[in-house]
């Protein structure tokens, strides 16, 4: 996950970029970040939760149309992502995230099940290619590195998206853009692009039944 200071700074910077000007983290906000760091939660999972909090604002929150003004408003979304990516973290066990060979085998076997249960060939091909990439990490000596596996998943979703018909890609892109339209003016280009990809991948997962490979 990198050094503790880098972990904190990246999460802090990402939230503040999405939240816009005039926002500062409180001591309680920093305590949440420290807690995630102590629990060995990969920063990518935390960022995904923050992204989800902003993407769902205005659809489920009571303050419709108002983005989170404090990191504490993102905590429930981050915890949900933690549950999705690794229940052992919520239980505060000392076991580190996927640092042993058996965990890599679980990811591979999970993908094997996804391949078997895929409802169409396009989805099956997606899982087949992703499984080959995950197995390639093992051969390269980088197996069980959660950030690396999540990066492979992100790259595979990008390839899946690029393989869709032009009209379908355009429709999904427009839908993703609408999810961050009201906050775009507060974002840097980097934050906007990253958020757009994250929201787009959320849409792909729901629309095509693409499952996360880490649980």
pLDDT digits (tens, 9 = 90+) for 69-81: 889 889 999 998 8
Q: Is the pLDDT of residue 172 over 60?
A: yes
pLDDT tens-digit readout, 135-157: 887 665 555 566 677 778 889 99
Structure confidence by residue, pLDDT tens digits, 1-21: 444 577 888 888 888 888 876
Q: Looking at residue 92, what is its pLDDT?
A: 44
Supply the mean pLDDT for the chain.
Answer: 78
- Among 66-70, 118-122, 124-128, 202-206, the range scoring the smallest mean pLDDT is 66-70
The pTM for the full model equals 0.58
Secondary structure in 3-state letters for the chain: CCCHHHHHHHHHHHHHHHHCCCCCCCHHHHHHHHHHHHCCCCHHHHHHHHHHHHHHCCCCCCCCCCCCCCHHHHHHHHHHHHHHHCHHHHCCCCCCCCCCHHHHHHHHHHHHHHHHHCCCHHHHHHHHHHHHHHHHHHHCCCCCCHHHHHHHHHHHHHHHHHCCCHHHHHHHHHHHHHHHHHHHHHCCHHHHHHHHHHHHHHHHHHHHCCCCCCC
């Amino acid at each position: 996950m990198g050094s503790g200071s880098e972990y904190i700074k990246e999460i802090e910077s990402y939230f503040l970029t999405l939240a816009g000007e005039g926002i500062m983290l409180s001591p309680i906000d920093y305590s949440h970040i420290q807690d995630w760091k102590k629990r060995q939660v990969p920063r990518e999972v935390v960022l995904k939760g923050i992204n989800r909090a902003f993407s769902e604002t205005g659809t489920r929150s009571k303050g419709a149309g108002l983005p989170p003004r404090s990191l504490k408003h993102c905590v429930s979304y981050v915890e949900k992502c933690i549950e999705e990516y690794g229940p052992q973290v919520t239980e505060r066990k000392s076991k580190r995230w996927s640092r042993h060979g058996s965990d890599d085998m679980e990811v591979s076997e999970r993908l094997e099940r996804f391949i078997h249960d895929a409802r169409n060939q396009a989805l099956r091909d997606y899982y087949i290619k992703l499984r080959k990439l995950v197995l390639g990490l093992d051969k390269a000596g980088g197996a069980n590195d959660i950030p690396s596996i999540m990066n492979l998943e992100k790259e595979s979703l990008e390839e899946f998206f690029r393989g869709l018909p032009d009209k379908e890609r355009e429709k999904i892109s427009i839908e993703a853009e609408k999810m961050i339209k009201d906050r775009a003016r507060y974002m840097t280009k980097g934050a906007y692009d990253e958020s757009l990809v994250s929201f787009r991948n959320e849409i792909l997962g729901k629309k095509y039944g693409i499952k996360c490979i880490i649980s």
